[in-house]
Amino acid sequence: MYTIQGKGVSGGVANGPLCFYRRGDHDIAKHEIADTEAEKQRFESARQTAMEQLKALYEKAVAEVGEEGAELFEAHQMMLDDLDYVEGIQDLIDGEQVNAEYAVSQVAEQFAQMFASMDDSYMQARAADVKDISNRVIGILSGAVAGGIDSDVQVILAADDLAPSETVQLDKSKILGFITQGGSGNSHTAILARTMGIPAVIGTGDALREDYEGKTAWIDGETGELFVEADEITHERLSKKHAKQRAMKELMDQLKGKENVTIDGRKVMVYCNIGSPDDVDQVLANDGGGIGLFRSEFLYLQNNDYPTEEQQFQAYKTVAERMGGKRVIIRTLDIGADKQADYFQLAHEENPAMGLRAIRICLTRPEVFKTQLRALYRASAYGKIAIMFPMITSEWEVLEIKRICEGVKAELRKEEQPFDENIELGIMVETPAAVMMSDRLAKLVDFFSVGTNDLTQYTLATDRQGGNLDRFFDAHHPAVLRMIKMAADNAHKAGIWIGICGELGADISMTETFMALGVDELSVSPSAVLPLRSTIRSINTAENREKILEDLLK
């Protein structure tokens, strides 16, 4: 038995084979080929496989977001079938006697440059499409694994770490748990694990070796341990722990349909955080009262070009309809910092967490912002959508946002597009500036939502992604809690509600404190809803409020 110690960031235990995440190799080597006919056939076989994959993706997208939202995959099929593209690759294999991977990469570059040099913006955008389909074909030729998971069964996924753009494309149905060499408790791998309700361990370092590939292992997200080829005693102990975990889930399921209300009658909204329309299944399965944070940036991260208004509209509409009239708070794109999409072509920044990100991108690229807002307003006709804006620091930002929103609404009225005229607008409180200005900001919006991860990062000057800074990244720090109280007090003075949508909202050791601070809503991973409901129902807010506030403010 091999025992690996890391840090647990998502509780629970799981048992299964270890599978290491496989990234595609972007360095395409050039080889001389003797049998060009066989090489052309190899290319054709890969092209047909890619075509089948795109058809499957199209059908999946139609089911999830409708035909218009799936148009991209249909366009990719047409491009993959383009005679000039196919013959260009075949001619290069014949003429230079080169391997298919190299021929595809060269022709892809030629086509991409051709599209990029055109005056028409639509045709310029096709440069990313031709690279995307070509990378798919190259991946098939080189044996790369779609989605990074080379397994037909469920696995414990191992990696050095995973970028947000990688996590969003994973086949989540295959994952029992995560274990990574690096990362932090606030990494997107950890957040995804908590959303899925599966165990995750980070920070194992070099102890996590690729020669463990395929070996059966137990992962314990509570203790941060991984046991490879566990001995009989360990296997029996963790099997019992797994059984208790299932029993606890069954116990929690009995709370479905019950109110989130304290012993003294204080009602709390318990909502869910999601990253895609797929996550709604988990929200409904766990009896979430609404969606407090839909991270819309993941629609951007899974694309190779800016998602169209129609693509976004279909995604937002799907979520709104499936939630059946419950509030769905959609955060406008939070690209930047650790969430990078190449087609945004953001300049390198020494300190990206404080750079051009989130609302700053939206206000400097209003055409991108307006496309998203149009999709959001259109989708509001199909459910109770609210819009939330991240990284706010000043009044002028909110006033400019509202001016742009009014322009979008005027356009939609002129086009006779239906939308909710009374859609709620809120802001993320995740900077000290937003807290200090919360008395004025509260008069401009309908709600606040505290992003505790970033608020902690900016308040304590501690990088939330820095794995070696975990002991300094303290979301329980009195400075952070005092800021939440200040924002809550100012929200209530202005007659608006305040929630928490950061990971701290699911920390049941803090639930009573949040009630004392005046928090009205907690938005958490779907798997945390029922345990949080159980805690809320056991609290007497009136009994301990004064003491909690006295300890915090003394």
Sole residue written with tokens 């099997």: 239
The Cβ-side half-sphere exposure at 245, using a 13 Å CA radius, reads: 17
Numbers of helices and strands, H then E, in the chain = 21, 16
Name which of 543, 482, 534 is nearest 506 in CA terms. 534
Residue of 19, 272, 405, 501 with catalytic role = 501
The three-state (H, E, C) secondary structure of 351-390, written as one string: CHHHCCCCHHHHHHCHHHHHHHHHHHHHHHHHCCEEEEEC
Catalytic residue among 19, 76, 188, 405: 188
Q: In angstroms, what CA-CA distances link 414 with 58, 147, 408, 410, 417?
A: 33, 43, 10, 6, 8
Residue 43 CB-density burial (10 A; 0-12 exposed, 13-18 middle, 19+ buried): buried
Distance CA 320, CA 280 (A): 10
Helix (H) or strand (E) holding 293: strand 291-295
Token pair of 473 as six digits: 């990244």
Neighbours of 87 (CB within 10 A): 11
Dihedral of alpha carbons 105, 111, 114, 117, sign: negative
- How many residues in total does the chain contain? 554
Active-site residue 362, yes or no?
no
Report residue 261 as tokens.
């209300």
- Asked if residue 273 lies in contact with residue 195, where contact means CB atoms within 8 angstroms, the answer is yes
Catalytic, 235? Answer no
Per-residue tokens: 300:
């951007």
- In terms of DSSP H, where are the helices of 494-540? 511-517, 529-536
Tally Cβ neighbours within 10 Å of residue 254.
10
Find where tokens 């939440």 sit.
Answer: 484
Q: Residue 264, CB half-sphere, CA atoms under 13 Å: how many?
A: 10
Place of tokens 């008395």: 439
167: CB partners within 8 A, 6+ apart: 188, 189, 192
**Taking the CA of residue 382 as centre, how many other CA atoms within 13 Å lie in the half-sphere pointing to its CB?**
17
Residues assigned a catalytic role: 188, 501
